[in-house]
Amino acid sequence: MANNLSMDGLKQAVADGTIDTVLVCMVDMQGRLMGKRFHAQYFLNSAAGDTHSCNYLLATDMEMETVEGYKATSWEAGYGDYTMVPDLGTLCLTPWLEGTALILCDMIDHATQKPVPHSPRAILKAQVAKLEAMGLEPMMASELEFFLFNDSFDEAQKSGYRDLDLVSGYNEDYHIFQTTKEEDVMRAIRNGLYGAGITVECSKGEASAGQEEINVKYDAALVSADNHVVIKNACKEIAWAKGKSLTFMAKWNDVAAGSSSHVHQSLWSPEGEALFYDPKAEHGMSDLMRHYVAGLLKYAQDITLFLAPNINSYKRFQAGTFAPTKAIWSLDNRTAGYRLCGAGSKAVRIECRVGGSDLNPYLAFAALLAAGIKGIEEKLELVAPFEGDAYAPDADVQEIPTTLRAATEVLDGSDMLRAAFGDEVIDHYVHAARWEQTDFDNRVTDWEINRGFERS
């Protein structure tokens, strides 16, 4: 994150009573913040070096179920602790919470004193390190979409998430008047994030009733991933404080558009040179960029699970919804899985449109970088850009996996990602995905009851 609070600044704020609480957070497999609230003075005295958390936090599902079958931790092993080591470069204010600061942690294994290999932050840091060894620095940004409701979170839960009251009654894409009516929440989000050191570019209405988008400054890959998880948590907390609720589900109902998390990416030199840009090349795309994008396309199926990690993620992939169904690249074409942006300029970059707003940014960014690195290493040739409507039935190009089950099997067999992340990491996330699928397969859905209760 844009670190806007130093340790000296925290000490001063604690001394003058401005800050009394520090949130010490790690990121779980689902991309959520988990951790502890410390009295700020105790954090300064004792916890700034490290603290501990149960290692089951990296082996649970969305419901915090202690899923059996993980090699990393289990009932047999006693569910011990990991060490949470605060990254002082992420210390920031959280203006939407009174007297509070926040810091993110790296997860360290007690036995090896090394980063926990399947922890999301460690996975991304490993891919960033590979690029740095190649003299390359990845820059990324995620665009987050969500739906905003007038119901509070408690009201929504008590209603069984039925008959929810969206803040808008109509499609509000770029709509200024409708979004004016939502400014009590969206203004608080923009200003709150800015106060946390996250440079917000803008917010806007999106392509369905009640749908919002928040965009922040393009930055280093790890910084952008850190920002992403803080943004999601802040949006929920600010909506809660306003008596409203919101969801980052990829597809919250079967009528509304899905919510995406488009990921923009490019590679730069340590000196700040845009290495994807070649003014003499077609579209300004350097050979390095062409190899990178070719890697994204070749390994698009391998990385899908990290862009679409849940059963619900795949409900978003529907024709005519601006959510891609084909692993192709194109020039400023929103029907493609990968869209070229900033053509012919130093801002040239590739936008991955596959991921939903439910993705874990560390895992998604790491998977994209791994595919791009492989494309560079293999010097893959980039096919010509796709033209036309990628949703058209005659578009004979590579499909994105359409179910979690299919994406899981592709990931399990991915030699590329096993080499990039390690077998231990891939097996961990394959196990998580198979549990998600099994748990869903055992559930009776509202659709089944409504369809079959009387007519079966």
**Range(s) within the chain of domains with CATH label 3.10.20.70:** 7-112
| pLDDT confidence of residue 333 | 77
Q: Decide if pLDDT at 320 tops 80.
A: no
Task: Give burial (CB, 10 Å; 0-12/13-18/19+) of 52.
Answer: middle
The torsion region of residue 199 among left (phi > 0), alpha (psi -120 to 50) and beta comes to beta
Q: What is the mean pLDDT of residues 401-415?
A: 97
Q: What is the pLDDT of residue 79?
A: 87
User: What would the pLDDT profile of 53-91 be if each residue is shown by its tens digit?
Assistant: 999 999 999 999 999 999 988 888 888 899 999 999 999
Distance CA 108, CA 52 (A): 9
How many whole angstroms separate alpha carbon 53 and alpha carbon 75? Answer: 16
* Burial bucket for residue 319 (CB in 10 Å: 0-12, 13-18, 19+): middle
110 falls in which pLDDT band (50, 70, 90)? confident
Residue 1 has pLDDT above 70, yes or no: no
In this predicted structure, what is the pLDDT of residue 452? Answer: 95
How many angstroms from the chain centroid is the CA of residue 265?
A: 14
CATH 3.30.590.10 residue window(s) in the chain: 128-448
d(CA 152, CA 141): 30
Burial class (CB in 10 A: 0-12, 13-18, 19+), 88: middle
Distance CA 271, CA 269 (A): 5
Which pair of structure tokens corresponds to residue 388?
Answer: 């036309």
How do residues 256-315 score in pLDDT, each as one tens digit? 999 999 999 999 999 999 999 999 999 999 999 999 999 999 999 999 999 999 999 999
Sign for the CA dihedral angle at 127, 129, 132, 137 comes to: positive
Q: What percent of the chain has pLDDT over 70?
A: 98
The predicted-structure confidence for 236-259, as pLDDT tens digits, reads as follows: 999 999 999 999 999 999 989 999
What is the token pair recorded at 225?
Answer: 């991933």
Q: Is 170 helix (H, G, I), strand (E, B) or coil?
A: coil
Q: In the prediction, which pLDDT does 206 show?
A: 93
Distance between CA 144 and CA 314 in Å, rounded?
17
CA–CA gap between residue 217 and residue 52 (Å, rounded) = 32
Tell me the C-alpha distance between 308 and 259, whole Å. Answer: 12
Mean pLDDT for the chain? 94
Residue 48 predicted with pLDDT over 90: no
For residue 8, CA distances in Å to 14, 301, 436 come to: 10, 47, 44
Domain range 7-112, its CATH number among 3.40.640.10, 2.40.340.10, 3.10.20.70, 2.60.40.10: 3.10.20.70
DSSP letter at 62 equals T
For domain 128-448, the CATH class is alpha beta
395 has a pLDDT exceeding 70: no
